[in-house]
Structure 1
Amino acid sequence: MVVADLVDHYIQTELSDEADWHSHATRIAYSQFLKRWIRPHWGCVGIRDVRTVAVERWLKQLCRVDGERLADATKAKIRNLISVLFNHAIRYEWLEQGRNPITLVRHSAQRKWTPEILEPHEIQNLLLQLSSCFRLMVLLDVTTGLRRSELLALKWSDADFSSLELNVVRSIYLRMIGNCKTEASRKPVPLDAHVAADLWLWKEVSKYSKFDDWIFASPHTQGRLPYWPAILLLKIIQPAALRAGIKKRVGWHTFRHSYSSLLVANGENVKVVQELMRHASSRFTLDVYAQARKREKRHAQQRVVQMIIPENFDDVVPEISLEGARNDAE
């Protein structure tokens, strides 16, 4: 069996519309990686002939169409998908247990840049620059941490105003409706009373307020579909961020990163943050999403310094001087 046969079988059994293991977005991303990167290079190679070092070398030289090196994070996703492919072969007993050659492939998943997070005052300024449902859209996103595919897939039937919860039951990607990203994602999200009140006000004035209507239905499609996220970002949110004086790179995931980082900065329990972010692992929450803000890092450092150097410490020890340094050195 060659890798191309393995790819075909994996697509047929794991990425078809009948398979419900992955969200629609994940199925599209996996299919693109398989067809764009993995199959063209490895398709004719026997599954027993793939070698660890050869995969490492191949990953290092991967480039985009414009000649730029592929981002390490993208290469890491490709590496993980190849590993999934070989686990698929082991599952169907085309390879022996423990014969996954990708297990020992080394590759950095370091990002090209640290994801941006917005400070509370920046979020406030951004909200002031937005109007109508767009302000509510960003407010809801930055106070729930919903993924963009989940935010725009919300229907009025998902909003439980009596219990102040949002039921996350679907996602939308490239206008295709599918499951949420993971099982952990399909959990209710708490809704703050203030945000719920704004949501109710939007329901009162929206043309599309029926039980099965999209909360953020696009008037351009007469409510049949929600707004297109890329256009919202390009024409509404990013220009508003510039008007608000925000120089950071603002994307949909900025709101999710900001939400998790603010939760951590507030000293919330790690398990609570994990549940609110709807992650399967708290380690993933802290490693990927939560960033310590500069102020919190400085205050944390100052608390340690204050433990070591009490207020009257300077009265006890001699002052630092260049002469003293010379004498000690001699």
Structure 2
Amino acid sequence: MRVQRHTSGSVRYDKRRKTWNYLWYDGLIRRSKRIGTKREFPTKAAAWMEVDHLQIQQQKPQHGDTVRSVIVRYEAERMPSRPSTARVYRCCLKNHILPKWGDSLIQDIQPRPVELWLRELPLSPKSKTHVRSLMHGLLEYAMWSGILDISRNPISLVRNIGATRTVRKARSLTVEQFQALLTELQEPFATMALLSVCLGLRISEALGLRWSDVNWIASRLSVQRGIVNQIVGDVKTRGSAKTFDVAVELLDRLKSCRQHSDFSAAEDWVFASPFKLGRLPYSYTGTRQELERASKAAGIGHISSHVFRHTYRSWLDAVKTPIAVQQKMMRHQDIRTTMNIYGDVVTDEMSTAGLRVAELAFQFNGAQAERETS
């Protein structure tokens, strides 16, 4: 590849692609632009004339920190430690913020351009809220680290119209739909579904259970960890770590599952994957695929693993559980409500409501509960 140097860059002929390319440096970042083929520009001089015609010039050095450089420091110092949250943040930065704002100076970020850009993003209102919050966090970090003077965060002036509007309504299963699904699910996914719908577990919490978390004598189960992308970590929030009372039917189901499992030691995973020789539980991908297969066979339409948590909330309503008790049993922490201010609800109420939900899960399930695990 021959090179002709110039004060603002260089023109190179790429023999493999058979094109002229103009290359220059923007600070420490190397940039390039395709000029054309040799048929269009037979000589370098002709290619240079096209460069001058397009007015491609080396950008003046920027004075200050770019959004890209701030993000590098943010990832090193402020990125959330929870793997699933960090993954979402990095995806948001890579797919949305960096392409638009990466080369902009952090001090030049203004609310109006950000709001107009946010309106045009092909995302749901909730996802736009996440993007806005991350932009707000970057500016806050820049002030905290001394990159910017401490002042009002310009992203606080950015509005996300329709932020509370949901695109898809959360789905809950009826008792009949759940029973139809349970009939089609293979083990141990059927037991996983029962456990999730009886206790309102997130899929990461269900997959993160070990046999040592089950107190067989006291009929209790402790949620202590979660697994996301096969990485063992903490539960989503501090309030998510909780010990549940377990219905007799559910405890018997767990005992049967353990008896049929090749991985039944105290520290083994409840839903250990034979494909990983028990070193890890089944993956979320494998769980989702089994749910898709079973829901199609049951004729109840598409569902995700989170439908069990929504179903748990609906069934708590169905058994007339007081809303304050529901908030505790769902392990939600929301400072905008008064539920957390008026003291704790009595444990007996929570236990009774949980047992009633379990009765719904096992209703019409005598034959299926006796089915041998496969």
> Which amino acid is 1:251 matched to?
S
Question: How far did 1:7 drift?
Answer: 1.2
Q: What is the CA-CA distance between 1:40 and the residue it aligns to? A: 2.4
CA-CA distance at 1:92 after TM superposition: 3.2
Q: Which has the larger radius of gyration?
A: 2
* Preserved CA contact (<8 Å) 1:274 1:281: no
Distance of aligned partners of 1:257 and 1:222 in 2 relative to their CA distance in 1, 3 Å threshold: same
Alpha-carbon distance between aligned partners in 2 of 1:270 and 1:95, rounded to the nearest angstrom: 45
Equivalence for 1:52 = 111
In the alignment, structure 1 segments of 5+ residues that lack a partner are 16-20, 63-68, 287-330
In the TM superposition, 1:73-84 aligns within 5 A as 73-84=126-137
- 1:164–1:196: 8 Å Cα contact kept in structure 2? yes
Determine if contact 1:145/1:277 at 8 Å carries over to the other structure: yes
Residue in 2 that maps onto 1:135: 190
Number of aligned residue pairs: 272
Deviation at 1:13, TM superposition (A): 1.2
The answer to whether residue 306 in structure 2 is matched with residue 253 in structure 1 is yes
Which letter does structure 2 place at the counterpart of 1:192?
Answer: A
Whether 1:37 and 2:96 are equivalent positions in the alignment is: yes
Determine the C-alpha separation between the residues in 2 that align with 1:266 and 1:240. Answer: 27
Answer whether contact 1:22 1:182 (CA < 8 A) is retained. no
Partner residue, 1:151: 206
SS in 1 for 2:223: coil
2:155 aligned to which of 89, 96, 102:
102
Deviations 1:30-66 (A, max 9, x none): 122112221222122222221112111111222xxxx
Give the 5 Å matches for 1:1-330: 1-15=65-79, 22-62=81-121, 69-107=122-160, 108-109=162-163, 110-234=165-289, 236-247=290-301, 249-281=302-334
TM-superposed CA distance for 1:96, in Å, is 4.8
Further displaced range: 36-45 or 150-159: 36-45
SS in structure 2 opposite 1:184? helix
3-state SS, counterpart of residue 86 of structure 2: helix
Contact preservation (8 Å) 1:274, 1:282: no
Cα distance change on mapping 1:143 and 1:283 into 2, 3 Å: farther
Instruction: State the AA in 1 paired with 2:225.
Output: R
Could you tell me which runs of 5 or more consecutive residues in structure 2 were left unpaired when the two chains were aligned.
1-64, 340-374
Identity value in percent: 34
- CA 191–93 in structure 1, closer or farther in 2 if over 3 Å, else same: farther
The structure richer in helix per residue is 1
Q: Show CA shifts across 1:273-304 (max 9, x none).
A: 222222211768x9xxxxxxxxxxxxxxxxxx
Residue 226 of structure 1 and its aligned partner are, at CA, apart by 1.0
Aligned to 1:210, the other structure's residue is in SS state coil
Give, in whole Å, the separation in 2 of the partners of 1:266 and 1:93.
54
SS in 2 for 1:211: coil
Higher relative contact order (CA 8 A, sep 6+): 1
Whole-Å Cα distance in 2 between the matches of residues 262 and 73 of structure 1?
Answer: 26
For the residues of structure 1 that align with 2:241 and 2:124, how far apart are their CA atoms? 30
Deviation at 1:93, TM superposition (A): 4.4
User: Whole-Å Cα distance in 2 between the matches of residues 23 and 14 of structure 1?
Assistant: 12
Q: Which runs of 4+ in 1 moved over 6 A?
A: none
Residues 45-91 of structure 1: CA distance to partner in whole angstroms, max 9, x if unpaired?
222221112111111222xxxxxx22222222111111222222333
Alignment TM-score, normalising by the size of structure 1: 0.76
- Partner Cα distance (2:217, 2:152) in 1: 53
Deviates more, 1:207-216 or 1:110-119: 110-119
| Aligned residue in 2 for 1:290 | none
- Residue type at the aligned position of 2:308: F
Instruction: Give how far 1:202 is off.
Output: 1.0
Whether the aligned pair in 2 keeps the contact of 1:164 and 1:193 (CA below 8 Å) is yes
Aligned twin of 2:61 = none
Counterpart AA for 1:5 = S
The residue identity in structure 1 corresponding to 2:325 is V
What's the counterpart of residue 318 of structure 1?
none
